[in-house]
Every structure is written in structure tokens, then in C-alpha cells.
Structure 1
Amino acid sequence: MAETEKTGNAIVETIKTVVYALLIAGVFRTLFFQPFWIPSGSMKQTLLIGDFLFVNKFAYGYSYASCPSIVIPRFGINLDAKKLCGAVDGDNTRLWGSDPERGDVVVFRHPVSGRDYIKRLIGMPGDKIQITGGVIQINGEPATQVADGQFDELMELQGPQGLRPRCANGAVGQGGVCSKERAIETLPNGVSYPVLNIGPQASDRTGIYSVPEGHYFFMGDNRDNSADSRLAQTAGGVGFVPYENLIGRADRIVFSSAGRSMLFFWTWRGDRFFKGVQ
């Protein structure tokens, strides 16, 4: 009988330990830092597929979107932030909120799908944004671009999804060098970063976007390979993003792997460990 009681107590204590650990992890992830893997190439070369970073969640304060989504298809679990914290959704405000700055790399919640996206903040509330000849115009002032050579990568399957890069130098075979034109873009507030260009396309020439109050306009640094605010939410883009949908700011890459799995240590990018995001 004593052995049975000891076994039962051990199981209970183990369950308690797991529950407490999950609660602590949940609080940490909700209030401080949220892990984020870069799944696509829309932010190259600033962020590469396979970069792993922690999102600074207290940079902009807290809203319903600060609640972590728990999606584990294998076990049929799909609890997103709106289901968990939807009671505080809809007022477009934040607790201890602070405004993001133009040029920040931000993780936000897609207004329709609820999935987490990461892009660069280009347009602030009240701005008028237009792209002419691939150059961003912000309230009539261009975000200057200075040619900076090219960005080269191998034509190979990238990340767990096995994505192939798009190239400016035409059709490239497996193992070949895939190149894109690179420029250094500078926003009116002085923030500079590299942007990539594959070739002329419709999104290089747009009408004027008037950013509503309480909303933001985002773009990917890999300009010709990014579904962002240039496209409406109904057309596969993200449109204007409400203030309450901001999750946090990407400050630093912690780990990076170029392979299909983080366990493939020979594909680790040691030069990107603990690299700041600019």
C-alpha cells in the first residue's frame, strides 16, 4: 500500500511540475519575449529563412495579441490569441502602450488570418504612402536608395518548407548562384537597411495609400517577394495593421540554421548568432 501511495504521489508531483513549468513559460511568453522562427524569405537579407529570434513584447505594451497562440495540428490544438484573450479585443488600445518607430522590424498578428507576420514598419498613422519606380514616397518625400551591389545565395531548398529563392539573374539550376540587386534604403527619420530587388513588377508602381489613424503600413525588405501592406487583406496581403495587432519588436537573432532542421548542426550559421536586427 505504501509503495502504491509513493507511486501515486510521484505522478501527482510530476504533473504539478509540468503544469507549473507551462504556466511560467506561458507568463514569460505573454509578458516578455516570444520565440519566432523566420519561415519565409520576405525579409531577406535582414532576416533569413531559419533565423530564430525572441520578440521583445514589452516594447509596445500589451493587447489581446500579446496572448500567445497555441497551434499544434498534430494533436488537434488550435487556440489562437483571439480565443484566449478575445475579451479585450476590438478597442485598438494597449496596456502600457508605446508607439513603434518608423523602420522597426515588427511581429504582428494578421488582421484576418490571425497568423504572426514579421515586416518592416514604413507608414505611420496619417501618412500617405506611394511606391513609384520601386521607391517609397512618404508624404511626398522619397526613401532614398543607394545601389549596394548584389545579394547572392545558393539555389537550394530552404527551411522546413523547402522553399526555393527567386532570382534576378534568370533561371538558376540547383546549386547555382541566385542573385538579387541590393540597395541601401534610408527612411526620412534616418533609419537605413538593405532592400532586395528581383525585377520590375506591378507592386513597384502603386496608387496612394492613406494610412488610417491607429493603423500602420508594413513592407518586406525583399521587395518583390513579400505579401505586405501593398496588398489588401482580401488579396492575400496584410493591408493596414491595427495598433492592437502589434506583438513586439524584433531586436536580435539568437540562432540561425540554413537546413531543413535545427538539428542539422552542419547547416548552422554561426556568424548570425546573437546578431542585432537593424
Structure 2
Amino acid sequence: MKKMKTSDDWGLFEWALYIAILAFASWFIVTFIGMRTPVIGQSMESTISDGDQLIVTKFSYRLGEPKRYDVVIFPPPSETDKKANYIKRVIGMPGETIQIMGGYVYINGEQLTTDVYGLEPINPLSEGDLAYQPLTLGEDEYFVLGDNRNNSMDSRNPRVGVKTKADLVGKAQVRIFPFDKISKISKESEQ
């Protein structure tokens, strides 16, 4: 004789199915849609600060290309730096020639004057730094800088170097913490 399923059996199955669906949805969102990331350090002051929490959209660069002044997230350059992703701003675009001299960024020989994020002149570079000499970016290469230019490990450092679209985890969209600073991460100017 067959035993009939009781309502307790169905309730347990429904809960297990519900938990499985939530686990899959969570995995899907974190893997393909977006994630929360903490800001560690002062390299993006005064746009974002140490301790801020950001929402990053991972699909941004699956559907489109990075643009100048996007705030992007990418993994640290080495296994020893695994404490957090790096957060920087796209300054140089594919095919452009970048050079930093006299404290300023030059793109294709013209000083970048629309850069409202770097609030002070850049300290002199040394010969080992990228962009000390003119640096021409490849067809899928981006030059990224921290907004706090004199306190940032970014594309100027050969350990970080230029980034490709595949290197970019996503685009920072919104600051969600601290609560009194909830705001969109804006891109105020275009070139």
C-alpha cells in the first residue's frame, strides 16, 4: 500500500524549494548583476571616502564600453593585495596617448582641462612610472587614476598598469553607506 504525502512533507519541500530559489537568485545577482563593495583607503577622496560602501553594476561593461570618468572596480594587482578591489576613475581611453608632466594629464598632447576630479597637481613621476613618457593605449586599454592623485596606486604604477575591459569587475553606481551620504556616483563632465 502506498503512503500518501502529508501536508508536513509538502511544507518541507516548499521551504527547501524556496531556499534553493533564493540561493540561486542571490548567486545570479552577485555573479552577473551587481555587488556591494567597501572602499578601503583614501585614493578616491574627495569623491568617495574610506569606509564608504558602494553598489557596483557588473553588467555595465557586458552591455557597453567604459567611458571617460567612469568609476571602475578591478581586482588588486597581486595575490598579496587581496584585501579589497581597487576603485579608480577612467581617464585615458583606447588609442589615446597619455602623458603626465608638470603635474597635469595630457591626452594626445592636449592638457586634460575637464578633469574636475584631480584636485591638485600630480607629484612629479619617476622614470619607472607609466606616462612619464608618452604612453599610447591599445585598442582595449584604459588608463585609470585615483581622484586623490598624490595618494593613489593606479595606472602610473607598473604593478597596476593599464586595464582592459576584461579586467573591470564593474562600474560604481551608488554610495549606500554611510546613510547620510547616500548618493549616485556621478560623472559630472565629459570630454
What residue number does 2:3 align with? Answer: none
What residue number does 2:24 align with? Answer: 23
User: Contact 2:53–2:175 (CA<8 Å) still a contact in 1?
Assistant: yes
What is the Cα-based RMSD across aligned positions, in Å?
2.8
User: Cα offset for 1:24?
Assistant: 1.2
User: Contact 1:46–1:277 (CA<8 Å) still a contact in 2?
Assistant: no
User: Cα offset for 1:17?
Assistant: 4.8
Check 1:31–1:122 CA distance in 2 against 1; reply closer, same or farther (3 A cut): same
User: Contact 2:57–2:172 (CA<8 Å) still a contact in 1?
Assistant: yes
1:225 corresponds to which letter in structure 2?
N
Bigger drift between 214-223 and 109-118 goes to 109-118
Q: Looking at secondary structure, tell me which structure has more strand per residue.
A: 1
User: Contact 2:101–2:124 (CA<8 Å) still a contact in 1?
Assistant: no
Check 1:52–1:211 CA distance in 2 against 1; reply closer, same or farther (3 A cut): same
User: Cα offset for 1:232?
Assistant: 0.6
Match of 1:239 among 157, 161, 170: 161
Structure 2: give runs of 5+ residues left out of the alignment. 1-7
1:204-246 Cα shifts (integer Å, max 9, x gaps): 982222212211110000001100000112xxxx101122111
Match of 2:70 among 97, 104, 110: 104
Matched residue of 1:195: which SS?
coil
Task: Give me the whole-angstrom Cα distance separating, in 2, the residues matched to 1:22 and 1:121.
Answer: 34
Check 1:112–1:214 CA distance in 2 against 1; reply closer, same or farther (3 A cut): farther
User: Cα offset for 1:14?
Assistant: 6.3
The answer on 1:47 being equivalent to 2:33 is no
User: Cα offset for 1:143?
Assistant: 1.2
What residue number does 1:202 align with? Answer: 125
User: Contact 2:122–2:149 (CA<8 Å) still a contact in 1?
Assistant: no
User: Contact 1:255–1:274 (CA<8 Å) still a contact in 2?
Assistant: no
What residue number does 1:35 align with? Answer: 36
Task: Give me the whole-angstrom Cα distance separating, in 2, the residues matched to 1:117 and 1:218.
Answer: 10
Task: Give me the whole-angstrom Cα distance separating, in 2, the residues matched to 1:130 and 1:198.
Answer: 14
Check 1:198–1:132 CA distance in 2 against 1; reply closer, same or farther (3 A cut): closer
| Structure-to-structure mapping, 1:221-240, within 5 angstroms | 221-233=147-159, 238-240=160-162
What residue number does 1:211 align with? Answer: 137
TM-score, normalization: structure 1? 0.55
Task: Give me the whole-angstrom Cα distance separating, in 2, the residues matched to 1:45 and 1:213.
Answer: 31
Matched residue of 2:26: which SS?
helix
What's the % identity of the aligned pairs? 35
Structure 1: give runs of 5+ residues left out of the alignment. 1-5, 62-96, 145-185, 188-192, 257-268
Check 1:106–1:23 CA distance in 2 against 1; reply closer, same or farther (3 A cut): same
Matched residue of 1:121: which SS?
strand
Runs (4+) off by over 6 Å: 12-15
Task: Give me the whole-angstrom Cα distance separating, in 2, the residues matched to 1:15 and 1:197.
Answer: 56
The answer on 1:137 being equivalent to 2:106 is yes
1:90-139 Cα shifts (integer Å, max 9, x gaps): xxxxxxx4211111111123465476221000111111111112100011
TM-score, normalization: structure 2? 0.77
The answer on 1:250 being equivalent to 2:172 is yes
